[in-house]
Amino acid sequence: MFWFLLVLFLAFATLNQYNRLIGLKNKLSNAFAQIDIQLQRRHDLIPNLVESCQGYMDHERETLKSITTARSQGADAGLQIQKDPTNTQALAVWNDCVQHESMGLRRIMATVEYYPALEAIETVRQLMDALQSTENRIGFARQAYNDLVALYNTALQGFPGLLVARLGGLRDVPQLELRNPGIREVPQVHLSCGNRS
């Protein structure tokens, strides 16, 4: 009877731990989806900003095209990550695309700031505020995701999580990092359309 109770207890503990890890993995997928929602919001705002600054930003059309391409590639990788947060290859592609998009946005925002006449336009100011707010939300969502990654990986690497993870085929999830050192640099703006107003 003792052995039966011990085996029953171990089976229950294993299932409980496995369910906990699966719950954390599902929370990771949700946290990633929250980042993607904010990235989509940002992506929707950028063309509006460029359009609102017609005449001043004709030379930024290539930047906008580059951002759109990066967003498209990143969205494909993002779908893979939502299905499997442990997909390190998709995460690397997604992270690179998001950082490329961020660098393009920083260039566009720096261009807008270069022209005081643009900043005086109410629509442009509202779009800049919305983009800045969205960038903050993206930062908070990334932080929340990384916090969940740490919690998941800790549960996975501890005992009995390690045994359960091996039995269940669960793997560590990498943190979201700023892998491109250029993302931290001040964007260089080269303007080709005349004098500042």
Q: Does domain 21-184 have CATH number 3.40.50.360?
A: no
Condensed to tens digits (0 to 9), the pLDDT of residues 21-52 reads 889 989 998 999 999 999 999 988 888 888 88
CA-to-CA dists, residue 182 to 29, 105, 108, 131, 186, angstroms: 28, 13, 15, 20, 8
Condensed to tens digits (0 to 9), the pLDDT of residues 75-117 reads 889 889 888 888 889 988 999 999 988 888 888 888 888 888 8
High-pLDDT (> 90) share of the chain, %: 26
Give residue 53's pLDDT. Answer: 80
